[in-house]
Amino acid sequence: MSTNEEQETYSKKDFMSDQMIRWCPGCGDYAILSQVQTVFADLGIPKEKFAVVSGIGCSSRFPYYMNTYGFHTIHGRAPAFATGLKLANPDLSVWMITGDGDSLSIGGNHFIHVLRRNVDIQVLMFNNRIYGLTKGQYSPTSEVGKKTKSTPMGSIDHPFEPCAVALGADATFVARTVDIFVKDQRVVLGEAAAHKGTSFVEIFQNCNIFNDHAFEHITNRKVRDEAVIFVKNGEPLVFGGKSCPAKGLKLTNKLEIEVVELGDDGPGDDILVHDETNPVLANLLARMRPPYPVAMGVLFRTQRPTYDGGVVDQIETAKKVPSAGDLTKAIYGGNTWVVE
């Protein structure tokens, strides 16, 4: 390989834009931005091959702070823009940034369809369980009883579980991490980048102004050891062992998850082993909430043809066999009616 053909190496700084970051001091978005920039530098992809697409919300200012191509689009419609971009230029590494309100409220329809179509993009959903940009209304992921400006008596809405929604939409890659779990976050983002198809990553993100400490029940170091389980394909589903007794997950006869303490010999045959290709297990893990540990890592992964790949194949077929895509025949063929 000649010197001119050698792959250029990057650092995190290469992906930092010259724009002033306009997030509130202490916002969890800073940590996510830092890890995304770090991961981009390690992927070995030319900088001009990245594109970051966002909708509306605090998280959606992301493209301004990335030294890549970017599009700050409209509320809930980022999946449509990201899909069009990937179809127009299949060589791009397209990353879609969204929030729990942007993707699960006004953008819910676009969100589920980009997942089922399996467009080869990465979707990062920052979940702070609140509308931060519009100053603190409850969101589709806010817990029942949440008191906000729009629910002064407490929310009566049952919240979405984003990873379960993604699984229900037949997503081929579903993962979860936390803004301050920086090492684990980088691993998950790297796995998402390597996946061929739509990669969905939910990132718990603290909004210290309008919903501070929303995830303290899992991020607080005093309780984290027994409040979080980091899953890894092919390994027993165990947690604890430092500040609390070692525990594991087993499946009951009612097909429900049960937490049991491990003996001195470690996990036995009754302890579940994570299989990221099992959608049933992934759904059980996605829905675990306290007092169960919250599952982090890649919950589900499978392979199936991508939407953009199928479109490219059809275009190539149409080039070789013009009659396969005869627009005139499509317009004038079949039955017609005259309406008077």
pLDDT, tens digit (0-9, with 9 covering 90-100), for 3-42: 445 668 999 999 999 999 999 999 999 999 999 999 999 9
CATH of the domain at 174: 3.40.50.970
Query: What is the rounded average pLDDT of the residues 322-332?
Result: 75
Return the amino acid letter for 293.
P
- The answer to whether residue 253 is domain-embedded is no
pLDDT value of position 3: 45
Whether 319 has a pLDDT exceeding 80, the answer reads yes
pLDDT, tens digit, for every residue of 142-155?
999 999 999 999 99
Residue range of the domain that includes 170? 3-214
pLDDT value of position 56: 97
Number of structural domains in the chain: 1
pLDDT value of position 1: 37
**Model confidence band, residue 188 (pLDDT cutoffs 50, 70, 90):** very high
pTM for this entry: 0.93
- The answer to whether residue 260 is domain-embedded is no
Query: What is the rounded average pLDDT of the residues 282-290?
Result: 96
- The answer to whether residue 59 is domain-embedded is yes
**Model confidence band, residue 244 (pLDDT cutoffs 50, 70, 90):** confident
- The answer to whether residue 175 is domain-embedded is yes
C-beta separation of 235 from 274 below 8 A: yes
Whether 294 has a pLDDT exceeding 70, the answer reads yes
- The answer to whether residue 335 is domain-embedded is no
- Sort residue 266 into left (φ over 0), alpha (ψ -120 to 50) or beta: left
Query: What is the rounded average pLDDT of the residues 246-253?
Result: 95
